Every structure is written in C-alpha cells, then in structure tokens.
C-alpha cells in the first residue's frame, strides 16, 4: 500500500522529541538544528517522567518541555490522549522517539501517522523491545547496530528508514557496546531527520522513500 507523501515544509520542519533518559540523541538533534541549513528545529521535548537529564538539556537550549506520566491517569488510554494533545499543541511535522520508553496507543499513532519515528539500538527485526543490546550479546551475534523506523502498532515493527551496523568486540559488555552503538545512532538520526525535513518522505508498504 502506498500512502500519500509527506512534503517538506516551506519553513524549517517542526520537530517534537520524546524522551525518557539522558537525552544524548536529543542533544545531537539540538546541535544539528543550530545550523539554519539543517531544515528542522526542535520546538518541544516531551517526557514520561520528571527529573531526567534530557529535560535539563532541553531547558538549557530554551526548548519548551512537557511531562505526561502514565500513573497520573486512570487508564492507559487517557494517558495516550493526553500525550497526543500535548504533542499536537506544538504542531509538529515530525515526532521523534529518542529513547522514549513507552508504547503509545492508537490515538497517538492515528494523529501522527507516518510522522512518528523511533531510533532503536539493534538491527531490526532482530532484538526488538526494551533491552536490545543485552539481548544481542546474550544471543552471541558478531554484528549489531541501530535502526531508524516509522512507528506502527507493533513493538519495533514499523517500516525501516535507515540502519547502521556495529561490530561486536570480543570484550564487549552491554555498556561498552551500547556506547559504540549510540555514537553511530546519533549520526544516523541527525542525517535522516535532516533529509526528511528538507526533502519530505513517503511510506510504500514496508519501504520508506526519501527523494
């Protein structure tokens, strides 16, 4: 199935970034967006918890932030609606999950269809879920990496935008491998968010095409 292409905006693309942790991917996007030629700017940062370094990074860059915690709502669907409304209030052209550790619901997916993307530290479809680096090491793979994909209703199952490989060293543990993957992941995310912002993109079945 071919869905309508998302065209580039005549202005810098408005990007909302969702986070749950340290914000190293967010920091890379914030740094890239200081260049007017990049084609995108981060207009808000959303989180599922207070007191994380990623929110501090956003505030230091004078980017608005918002927090929607699951436990503050009577049911998951109510949280999903609240997250959708808060995110939509910033009128994003693109929503980036950068270490956001919550699965959104159908309301969010419908609102941001083909505009919600996620960076995952594994070569999907292998090792989806919350502990991909640990799982890859436990399996004994010799090559891991990272994947940028469009988010769908599954867990890390959406169409792939880009992938990068990272060799697993004989002495790697979860922390060392993850650090090397994150370095590659940051570059991949910055490159492709910029490309999507400047050129637009379309989703055709399992393929994401950037002109």
Q: Which residues contact 208 (CB under 8 A, 6 or more apart)?
A: 149, 150, 159, 160, 161, 201, 202
Q: Is 120 a catalytic residue?
A: yes
Estimate the share of the chain in helix, then strand, then coil, as percent rounded to the nearest 5.
35, 25, 40
Paired tokens of 63: 């980017």
- Terminal-to-terminal C-alpha distance of the chain: 18
What is the number of H-type helices and E-type strands within the chain? Answer: 6, 9
Name the catalytic one among 50, 120, 149, 192: 120
What is the Cα–Cα distance from 4 to 113, expressed in whole angstroms? 11
**Distance (Å, rounded) from C-alpha 50 to C-alpha 152?**
26
Which residues are part of the catalytic machinery? 120
């Amino acid at each position: 199935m071919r869905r309508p292409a998302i065209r580039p905006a005549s202005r810098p693309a408005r990007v909302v970034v969702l986070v749950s942790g340290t914000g190293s991917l967010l920091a890379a996007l914030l740094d890239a967006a200081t260049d007017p030629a990049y084609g995108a700017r981060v207009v808000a940062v959303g989180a599922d918890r207070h007191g994380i370094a990623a929110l501090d990074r956003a505030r230091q860059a004078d980017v608005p932030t918002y927090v929607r915690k699951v436990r503050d709502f009577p049911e998951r669907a109510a949280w999903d609606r609240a997250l959708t409304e808060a995110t939509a209030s910033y009128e994003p052209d693109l929503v980036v999950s950068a270490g956001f550790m919550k699965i959104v619901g159908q309301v969010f997916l419908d609102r941001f269809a083909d505009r919600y993307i996620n960076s995952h530290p594994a070569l999907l479809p292998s090792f989806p879920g919350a502990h991909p680096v640990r799982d890859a090491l436990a399996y004994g793979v010799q090559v891991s990496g990272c994947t940028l994909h469009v988010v769908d209703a599954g867990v890390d199952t959406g169409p792939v935008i880009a992938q990068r490989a990272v060799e697993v060293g004989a002495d790697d543990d979860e922390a060392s491998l993850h650090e090397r993957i994150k370095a590659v992941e940051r570059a991949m995310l910055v490159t492709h968010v910029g490309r999507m912002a400047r050129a637009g993109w379309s989703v055709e079945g399992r393929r994401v095409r950037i002109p």
